[in-house]
A and B are shown apart, each in its own frame.
Chain A
Amino acid sequence: MMERDPCDRCEELMQDFLDRTLTDPEWKEAEVHLSTCEYCRRRYRFEETLRRYVKTSAVERMPPGLMAKLEELRGLDATA
């Protein structure tokens, strides 16, 4: 049986690795590979940086005045 390229396998596990949703054996497998493969470490850092960047870029504060409008909705009747 032909061995799979460990970098392909690492690529396959990458998103779940970042989401912390891998099973323990998969986690171990990814960690072992990342500890020896500079290329995949860079890939990992890239994906992680991108996610963080997307998150900070996408966050927009609530406009002023919206909270007051929401406060006014308190006590709304179920039939209203």
Chain B
Amino acid sequence: MQARVTHGYGSPVSEPEPSTEAVRIARQARDRVRFEEEALALADQVYRVARRLVGSREEAEDLVQETYARAFRSWQSFTPGTNLRAWLFRILTNLNVDRARRSQRAPDMHPLEESDYYLANKLASAGGEEVLEQEQVVERLSQDSVVRALSDIPPQFRDVVVLVDIGDFTYADAAQILDIPIGTVMSRLHRGRRALKSHLAEETMA
């Protein structure tokens, strides 16, 4: 249908249509800014997890910067409407694996077969408490001992514990981020938490 030529305001033919290319560029710029804003709003959470995945504050800062640099470069590969938090952490954990490989850290692989029950009692008795007064044992743990215990868990277990227990990710998100099956997330989580308790128990007895 041909546009009717009218006179006065709002004439459909007298106003130049912006070129489709210009529209595309403007839209892309807007999407990009929105993406960057949304990603930066998560920086605190990203740092919190990064800090527990690596040994020092400096390494954590580097890791977060590398993560954002890569995210900003490849923003177009993010599908709007999907989970940006999980997408960012996928980048972060991949970068962290690369870093660990570069620094040739040998994974610590001692078996962790003690039960939760056993460890809870070990923790409790270490404090010289009645076995049943376990809550008070927790109050005695220092913040430093928790941080140290977390850093002593073998990395592949630690990643899962940090994502789920500190980053508040669901099992499904953690599975997606680490690219492992959900059953593996669950078993590593259980073993990682046990390792954590085992280290805490050692600390309280030391």
The residues of A with any CB-CB pair to B shorter than 8 Å are 11, 14-15, 19, 21, 39, 42-43, 45-47, 49-51, 53-55, 57-63, 66-67, 69-71, 73-78, 80
Q: Is the CB of B150 within 8 A of A58?
A: yes
The residues of B with any CB-CB pair to A shorter than 8 Å are 32, 36, 40, 43-44, 47-48, 51-52, 57, 61, 64-65, 68-69, 72-74, 76, 115-117, 120, 124, 132, 134-135, 137-138, 141, 143, 146-147, 150, 162, 164-166, 171, 189-190, 193, 196-197
Chain A proximity of B61: nearest CB distance (Å): 6
Q: Is the CB of B115 within 8 A of A67?
A: no
Q: Contacts A70-B43, A70-B65 given: A55-B138 contact, CB under 8 Å?
A: no
Q: Contacts A58-B52, A59-B48, A70-B40 given: A75-B64 contact, CB under 8 Å?
A: no
Query: What are 23 sample pairs from A and B whose C-beta atoms fall under 8 A apart?
Result: A11-B117, A15-B193, A43-B117, A46-B134, A46-B135, A49-B134, A50-B138, A53-B141, A53-B146, A55-B165, A55-B166, A57-B143, A57-B146, A58-B48, A58-B146, A60-B51, A62-B48, A63-B47, A63-B57, A67-B40, A70-B64, A70-B68, A74-B40
Q: Is the CB of B146 within 8 A of A74?
A: no
Q: Residue B116 contacts which of A14, A21, A39, A74 (CB distance < 8 angstroms)?
A: A14
Chain A proximity of B42: nearest CB distance (Å): 10
Query: A-side binding surface: helix, strand, loop or mixed?
Result: helix
Q: Is the CB of B132 within 8 A of A66?
A: no
CB neighbours of A73 from chain B (8 A) = 65, 68-69, 72
Which of A63, A66, A78 lies at the interface centre, i.e. has the most chain B CB atoms within 10 A of its CB?
Answer: A66
CB neighbours of A11 from chain B (8 A) = 115-117
CB neighbours of B52 from chain A (8 A) = 58
CB neighbours of A14 from chain B (8 A) = 116
A49 to B134, CA, bound (A): 9
The chain A residue with its CB closest to the CB of B200 is A50
Q: Is the CB of A66 within 8 A of B146?
A: no
A57 to B139, CA, bound (A): 11
CB neighbours of A69 from chain B (8 A) = 61, 65
